[in-house]
């Protein structure tokens, strides 16, 4: 393989990443020296206070003063005593004797790329491949061999050439000396994480020391304030280190992609990258399906057969061509509904976007020769056996209430399709309603017109583009507002190819809000034409005038939905404190504060239980939790601990309330849209 030239940008980002690590070391050592000095000073002052005037009070104050420095110093050193174990229970190691074809491919890649064979090769369940290493303090000083992880979900949805390209990309990382920088950053992050967030044991120590004496508590408060300052400094250092490393990571991805293109040509990696989002989404959809089957004590025998079916099913639903029994996703398919014109450089992104990677791959001009389009699964000695073993491992930690059965693939396919149809809208609408609802209009005052638009015009690509353009504009407006009010730390951004700064935001926002207003009026006019079209169908079919009532019912629920759902949003915000260390009195005050919201929640739950509209979605588990929650006013915090069972019941009630409201909204909308499809079918000759 020809030597790949390192870009100037790659060199620049490597230098910045190394300098940022040196910056962290200097700042940390400076704080450590100051902490040692503070400790010596506090211990000396504490001893002298006791020596000068030995009394019980001065002894307590002296010990407390000495502990001030010790507490601060211990905070900075506590990460040394923290053991860090990497959980690999989800991985399955494979050896050359098990999978000779796969290891032959890996060996060929190693020779072509010019790197070392991985220390170990693991299989995981997901749609992924990755290089990782046993990073520890010693990895910062000595060379550490890397490991290779291959996701069986990835193998399941790529060709052999594509898998070779993906693994070549990963081995491209193996050949990068900058991986050592990654090891340093990893360890720096472990230190900062321990100091910033992993403080439960340390906070308990402070609390116990403060409770030992009122005199001690004075110095604990001072130590706490100093530590807060240290945390602030570390947070700034964390930002510097990781922004630099993320920029380097993006360059490392481009470099590894170019290595892969030299091995296989750029097309296999490009095709697999474009397909990745679909295959990953499909895998998660299968997992979500089986989550819902836990109550029925059902699981999969081979989740990868289910996965391949769902991947191709989604492709067919989206009119994506299949080739070699795999979806051939194009860039157009990937960005079909993304109409955003806003470009913000994400300093925290560790990977370039798929579009950026595809463009850089195409620039190499390295086309593939002798492509092997056979399934990558064929590289395994007995792929079905391996898939079943990984599937069993995946379901190992799932707790079932009774004896578990496996769901045959034919029944899975039938059930999955049925669930999909229950939760989607007819293809007649061409995705027009997927992320929008009918915009309100006065149904009873829409005049009857003799002329009506054609169905294909009402849901044309242009009409769908208008919907997704509005959605993208609204998203862009929210991001620009965050830039304007400094919630989002961005100095400049591009919109429609023009560079803007914070001071330009207000003018741009006014322009975009006007565009949204104009487009929404066009969409509302189309919604009215849709109503006229289907009302005409209803009249021609001599059916009872149900359409008007369905629209009125939907608009009425649409109006009350936001008010009802607001209870969930406010409670979710107000209850966030339970995830953080909070003083006891503040905890009690916070729970008192949510009492009015709880009353509104209980009223809403009572309405749900009494309404027929929710009964089909109201499971036994949800109903029982609701009924228990409504029996009395619950206590969520005792003397010094949370009442975990009561708190869990509250969160379950809040989440179930939101789910049922959202579900009813969807079903109300679906009922209206399904009726319109029935009207088309009732008068087929008039379309």
* Banded pLDDT at 17 (limits 50, 70, 90): confident
> 644-669 burial string, b = 16+ CB within 10 Å, else e?
eeebebbebbbebbbebbebbbebbb
How far apart CA 456 and CA 459 sit, in angstroms, is 5
Model pLDDT, residue 656: 96
Model pLDDT, residue 349: 60
Percent of the chain at pLDDT > 70 equals 93
Q: How far is CA 324 from CA 147, 151, 321, 374, 527, in A?
A: 31, 20, 10, 8, 41
Place of tokens 């910062």: 140
CB distance 505 to 484 below 8 Å: yes
Model pLDDT, residue 575: 94
CB distance 156 to 304 below 8 Å: yes
Model pLDDT, residue 496: 87
pLDDT of residue 196 exceeding 90: no
CB distance 112 to 154 below 8 Å: no
495 Cβ partners below 8 Å, 6+ apart?
A: 341, 342, 343, 476, 480, 508
- SS3 call for 345: coil
How far apart CA 398 and CA 295 sit, in angstroms, is 11
* Banded pLDDT at 447 (limits 50, 70, 90): confident
Question: Which of 140, 179, 223, 191 has its CA nearest to residue 29?
Answer: 191
pLDDT of residue 123 exceeding 70: yes
CB distance 458 to 522 below 8 Å: no
Q: State the average pLDDT for the chain.
A: 88
Model pLDDT, residue 183: 63
How far apart CA 266 and CA 365 sit, in angstroms, is 7
Model pLDDT, residue 452: 67
Higher pLDDT, 657 or 139: 657
pLDDT (tens digit per residue) in 239-249:
888 787 777 78
**DSSP collapsed to 3 states, 362-375:** HHHCCCCCCCCCCE
Per-range mean pLDDT, top range of 210-219, 252-261, 561-570: 561-570
360 Cβ partners below 8 Å, 6+ apart?
A: 254, 257, 258, 352
Percent of the chain at pLDDT > 90 equals 59
* Banded pLDDT at 681 (limits 50, 70, 90): confident
Higher pLDDT, 369 or 602: 602
219 Cβ partners below 8 Å, 6+ apart?
A: 64, 65, 67, 68, 71
Quote the tokens at residue 267: 């097309």
pLDDT (tens digit per residue) in 510-538:
999 999 999 999 999 999 999 999 999 99
pLDDT of residue 46 exceeding 50: yes
pLDDT of residue 341 exceeding 80: no
Place of tokens 């110093």: 73
136 Cβ partners below 8 Å, 6+ apart?
A: 84, 187
CB distance 310 to 278 below 8 Å: no
* Banded pLDDT at 82 (limits 50, 70, 90): low
Model pLDDT, residue 686: 45
Q: Which H or E run includes 74?
A: helix 56-77
pLDDT of residue 544 exceeding 50: yes
pLDDT of residue 474 exceeding 80: yes
How far apart CA 221 and CA 244 sit, in angstroms, is 35
Q: Which of 200-209, 250-259, 434-443, 639-648 is the least confident region?
A: 200-209
């Amino acid at each position: 393989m020809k030597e790949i030239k390192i870009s100037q940008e790659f060199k620049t980002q490597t230098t910045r990443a190394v300098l940022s690590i040196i910056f962290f070391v200097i700042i940390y050592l400076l704080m450590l020296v100051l902490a040692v000095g503070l400790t010596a000073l506090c211990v000396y002052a504490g001893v002298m206070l006791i020596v000068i005037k030995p009394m019980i009070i001065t002894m307590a104050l002296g010990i407390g003063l000495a502990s001030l420095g010790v507490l601060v110093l211990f905070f900075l050193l506590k990460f040394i005593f923290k053991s860090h174990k990497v959980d690999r229970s989800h991985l399955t190691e494979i050896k050359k004797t098990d999978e000779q074809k796969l290891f032959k491919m890996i060996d060929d890649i190693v020779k072509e790329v010019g790197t070392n064979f991985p220390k170990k090769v693991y299989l995981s369940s997901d749609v992924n491949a990755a290089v990782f290493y046993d990073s520890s303090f010693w990895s910062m000083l000595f060379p550490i061999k890397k490991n290779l992880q291959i996701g069986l979900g990835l193998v399941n949805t790529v060709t052999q050439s594509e898998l070779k390209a993906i693994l070549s990309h990963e081995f491209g990382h193996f050949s990068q000396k900058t991986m050592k920088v990654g090891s340093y950053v990893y360890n720096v992050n472990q230190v900062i994480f321990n100091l910033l967030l992993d403080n439960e044991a340390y906070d308990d120590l402070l609390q116990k020391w403060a409770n030992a004496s009122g005199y001690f508590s004075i110095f604990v408060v001072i130590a706490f304030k100093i530590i807060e300052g240290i945390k602030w400094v570390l947070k700034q250092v964390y930002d510097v280190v990781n922004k630099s490393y993320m920029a380097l990571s993006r360059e490392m991805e481009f470099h590894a992609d170019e290595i892969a293109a030299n091995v296989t040509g750029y097309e296999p990696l490009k095709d697999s990258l474009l397909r990745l989002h679909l295959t990953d989404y499909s895998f998660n959809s299968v997992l979500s399906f089986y989550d819902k089957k836990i109550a029925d004590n059902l699981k999969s025998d081979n989740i990868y057969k289910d996965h391949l079916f769902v991947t191709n099913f989604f492709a067919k639903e989206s009119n994506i061509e299949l080739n070699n029994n795999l979806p051939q996703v194009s860039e157009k398919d990937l960005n079909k509904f993304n109409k955003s014109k806003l470009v913000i450089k994400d300093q925290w992104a560790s990977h370039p976007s798929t579009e950026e990677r595809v463009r850089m791959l195409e620039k190499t001009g390295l086309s593939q020769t002798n492509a092997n389009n056979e399934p990558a699964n064929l590289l395994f000695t007995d792929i079905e056996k391996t898939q079943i073993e990984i599937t069993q491992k995946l379901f190992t930690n799932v707790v079932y209430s009774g004896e578990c059965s496996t769901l045959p693939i034919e029944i899975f396919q039938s059930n999955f399709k049925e669930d999909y149809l229950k939760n989607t809208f007819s293809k007649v609408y061409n995705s027009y309603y997927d992320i929008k609802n009918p915009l309100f209009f006065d149904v009873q005052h829409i005049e009857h017109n003799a002329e009506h638009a054609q169905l294909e015009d009402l849901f044309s690509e242009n009409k769908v583009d208008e919907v997704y353009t509005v959605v993208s504009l609204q998203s862009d407006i929210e991001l620009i507002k965050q830039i304007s009010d400094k919630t989002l730390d961005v100095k400049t951004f591009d919109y429609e190819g023009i560079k803007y700064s914070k001071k330009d935001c207000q003018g741009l926002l006014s322009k975009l809000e006007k565009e949204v207003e104009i487009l929404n009026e066009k969409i509302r006019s189309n919604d009215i034409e849709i109503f006229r079209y289907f009302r005409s169908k209803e009249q021609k079919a001599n059916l009872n005038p149900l359409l008007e009532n369905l629209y009125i019912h939907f608009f009425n629920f649409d109006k009350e939905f936001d008010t009802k759902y607001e209870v969930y949003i406010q409670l979710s915000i107000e209850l966030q404190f339970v995830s953080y260390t909070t003083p006891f009195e503040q905890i009690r005050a916070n729970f008192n504060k949510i009492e009015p919201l709880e009353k509104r929640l209980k009223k809403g739950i009572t309405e749900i239980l009494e309404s027929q509209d929710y009964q089909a979605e109201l499971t036994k588990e949800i109903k029982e939790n609701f009924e228990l929650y409504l029996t009395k006013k619950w206590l969520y915090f005792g003397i010094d601990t949370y009442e975990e069972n009561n708190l869990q019941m509250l969160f379950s009630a809040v989440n179930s309330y939101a789910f049922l409201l959202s579900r009813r909204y969807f079903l109300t909308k679906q009922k209206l849209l399904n009726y319109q499809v029935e009207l088309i079918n009732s008068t087929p000759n008039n379309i």
